[in-house]
Every structure is written in structure tokens, then in C-alpha cells.
Amino acid sequence: MQKRLMKLKATRIMKVVEEEHQGIVNSFWRIIVLDIETTLSRVCQAVLNDPTATKDELKQRAIGMKMLGTILQGAKKQEGA
């Protein structure tokens, strides 16, 4: 009886640990995504507000960034499909 009770407790403990582990992984994932989004935003602002670039260069950069964004959005949609 005692062994059975110990096994039941161990099973419950493992279940709680697994649930907590998933929560931690999800939290880390959200932090990483936020960091990537912040970094991309700063890079985009720096690239598009470069005072040394000509107006034409800034336009070409904007076009390139838009193309990259479209590609990334397409990859995200395919991943979710």
C-alpha cells in the first residue's frame, strides 16, 4: 500500500514538473520573440533613417525591407499550415 502511494505521489510530482517546464519554455519563447521584434524594429529605424544615405538609397532599402517582410510572412503562414 505504501509503495503504491509513493508511486502515485511520484507520478503527480512528475506531472506538475512537466506542466511547469512547459510554462517556462513558453515564457522563454515569448521573451525571445519580443527581443527579436525589438531588434528588428531598431534595425529598420536605423536603416531607414540613415542621414548618410541618399533619398534613392533609402527608397531601395525600404523596398528591400518590404520584400523581406513579405517573404517572412509567407514562411510564417506555411509553417502554420
CA 3/CA 11 separation, integer angstroms: 12
Residue 34 has pLDDT above 90, yes or no: yes
Helix (H, G, I), strand (E, B) or coil at 36: helix
What residue spans define the domains of the chain?
Answer: 1-49, 54-81
Higher-scoring residue by pLDDT: 77, 41: 41
CA distance readout (Å), 47 to 56, 59, 62: 13, 11, 9
> Which pTM was predicted?
0.62
Confidence of residue 80 (pLDDT cuts 50, 70, 90): low
pLDDT in tens, 61-77: 999 999 998 998 887 67
